[in-house]
């Protein structure tokens, strides 16, 4: 009998332990709050409780957007008087907050006034979650605006690179629910996509599926090697190379260039399969000095595929148009000025053709003033020469 009791106790202990563990695991996947939670994708759920007379009855949460337009979400009160408004039902591209709760059978009957709502129930939130790569204090960061109810919360950002490796970064939200992740240590020559934003209980607290692709990716693909050396076309124009994520392969993009007067000019290009783009600067036709500022989508110029801070020094080097202005000095030397800075200290070869169609070549080095002086005194006398290259 004693043995039987011991066995029974062991069995019951095992059952109780299993129940406790089950409850514990369930709690880890939710927010310990009576007024808000998140669905499995990270969408915000506003919840609360009503008197028992509303059990199993329909109600509506009336939400207002940034334009003070009303939107409603239906919920059914359960047999405990509890309700949930899942905000996934609201349209995207708006900022919302719960205004009040009304009877589902009589929309003119207010059940919970605005002043009766808990502060966590009438928190302001955006759809999709506001998130963006920024450049702050000389480093790249990823800033996310979570709901203010998550203030002072430790958050984990998970990113996936082009080789499907995962990277995790943690940061704490401020009083307004804003969290800033330092992504400056991520390796170059790679790109990263945000795949989850969770709290320490592994709860998704932002729906990254709704965030536009360009606002949840980090472009570290641009390095100086892409333009070392610069590629020149047969006409002597720079083919400036840049990269965006391969996700944009075969799409048309604009390279936005700025001149010395801060006026913008665009060059159309097509993204290759690996994300490489070549901007033929022959399309910059006015006499000016240009620099690449950013890369945007043709369909929507507000969609930046490479921010200015994603670009390297070589990609943002000033490009002179025309690149090389010929002239003759008092010694009858052939001068070429207004050359691009990448040619400084480089040896150039000029080709001259005489009136017998014979070619003559002269070498010279580009000075720090972006000018090269071809000493034509070495050319044989008694001929007429034309500089051709």
222 three-class SS: coil
Alpha carbon distance 311, 321 (integer Å): 21
pLDDT at position 31 is: 57
**Domain boundaries 128-220, CATH class:** mainly beta
Question: E-assigned strands of 200-275?
Answer: 217-220, 231-232, 238-243, 252-259, 264-270
Phi/psi for 162 (5° steps) reads -70, -15
H or E stretch including 13? helix 2-28
Buried-exposed string 63-95: b where 16+ CB fall within 10 A, e elsewhere: bbbeeeeebbbebebeeeeebbbbbbebeeebe
For every residue of 318-376, which 3-state class applies, written as one string?
Answer: CEEECCCEEEECCCCCEEEECCCHHHCCCEEEEEEECCCCCEEEEEEECCCCCCEEECH
> Residue 345: which region, alpha, beta or left (left: phi > 0; alpha: psi -120 to 50)?
left
pLDDT at position 123 is: 97
pLDDT at position 389 is: 61
Alpha carbon distance 57, 53 (integer Å): 9
pLDDT at position 299 is: 96
pLDDT at position 11 is: 35
Q: Are 126 and 143 in contact (CB under 8 A)?
A: no
Q: If you count them, how many residues does the chain have?
A: 389
Question: In Å, what is the CA distance from 75 to each residue of 99, 166, 281?
Answer: 15, 38, 58
Pairing relation of β-strands 347-353 and 264-270?
Answer: unpaired
Phi/psi for 193 (5° steps) reads -120, 135
- How many other C-beta atoms are found inside a 10 Å radius of the C-beta of residue 275? 21
Q: What angle do CA 335, 366, 361 make, to 5 degrees?
A: 65
All structural domains of the chain with their residue ranges? 36-126, 128-220, 224-320, 325-387
Alpha carbon distance 375, 388 (integer Å): 15
pLDDT at position 313 is: 95
pLDDT 10s digit of each residue in the chain, 389 long? Answer: 333 333 333 333 333 333 333 333 333 345 557 899 999 999 999 999 999 999 999 999 999 999 999 999 999 999 999 999 999 999 999 999 999 999 999 999 999 999 999 999 999 999 999 999 999 999 999 999 999 999 999 999 999 999 999 999 999 999 999 999 999 999 999 999 999 999 999 999 999 999 999 999 999 999 999 999 899 888 888 999 999 999 999 999 999 999 999 999 999 999 999 999 999 999 998 888 999 999 999 999 999 999 999 999 999 999 988 777 888 888 888 888 878 888 888 888 888 898 989 989 999 888 888 888 888 888 888 878 777 76
Tokens of 260: 């010395």
Please report where in the chains the tokens 């490009």 appear, as a residue: 319
| Among the listed residues 91, 73, 80, 36, the one whose alpha carbon sits nearest the alpha carbon of residue 54 | 80
Alpha carbon distance 104, 169 (integer Å): 44
Alpha carbon distance 14, 18 (integer Å): 6
């Amino acid at each position: 009998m004693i043995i039987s009791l011991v066995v029974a106790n062991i069995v019951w202990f095992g059952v109780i332990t299993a129940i406790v563990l089950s409850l514990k695991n369930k709690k880890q996947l939710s927010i310990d709050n009576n007024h808000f939670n998140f669905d499995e994708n990270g969408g915000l759920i506003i919840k609360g409780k009503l008197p028992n007379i509303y059990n199993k009855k329909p109600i509506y949460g009336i939400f207002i957007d940034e334009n003070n337009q009303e939107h409603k979400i239906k919920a059914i009160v359960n047999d405990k008087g509890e309700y949930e408004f899942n905000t996934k039902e609201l349209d995207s591209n708006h900022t919302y907050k719960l205004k009040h709760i009304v009877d589902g059978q009589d929309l003119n009957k207010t059940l919970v006034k605005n002043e009766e709502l808990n502060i966590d129930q009438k928190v302001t939130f955006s759809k999709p979650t506001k998130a963006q790569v920024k450049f702050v204090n000389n480093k790249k960061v990823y800033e996310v605006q979570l709901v203010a109810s998550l203030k002072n919360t430790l958050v984990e950002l998970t990113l996936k690179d082009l080789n499907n490796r995962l990277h995790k970064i943690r940061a704490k939200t401020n009083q307004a629910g804003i969290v800033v992740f330092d992504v400056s240590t991520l390796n170059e020559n790679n790109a990263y996509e945000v795949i989850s934003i969770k709290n320490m209980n592994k709860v998704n607290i932002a729906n990254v599926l709704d965030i536009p692709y360009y606002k949840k990716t980090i472009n570290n693909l641009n390095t100086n090697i892409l333009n070392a050396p610069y590629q020149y076309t047969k006409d002597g124009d720079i083919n400036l190379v840049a990269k965006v994520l391969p996700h944009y392969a075969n799409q048309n993009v604009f390279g936005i260039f700025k001149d010395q007067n801060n006026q913008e000019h665009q060059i159309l290009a097509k993204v290759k399969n690996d994300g490489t783009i070549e901007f033929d600067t022959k399309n910059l036709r006015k006499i000016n000095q240009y620099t690449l500022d950013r890369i945007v989508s043709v369909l929507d110029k507000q969609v930046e595929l490479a921010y200015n801070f994603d670009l390297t020094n070589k990609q943002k080097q000033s490009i002179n148009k025309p690149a090389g202005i010929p002239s003759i000095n008092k010694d009858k030397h052939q001068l070429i000025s207004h050359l691009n800075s990448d040619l400084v200290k480089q040896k150039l070869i000029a080709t001259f053709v005489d009136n017998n169609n014979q070619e003559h070549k002269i070498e010279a080095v580009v000075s720090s003033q972006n000018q090269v002086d071809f000493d034509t005194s070495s050319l044989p006398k008694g001929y007429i020469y034309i500089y051709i290259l």
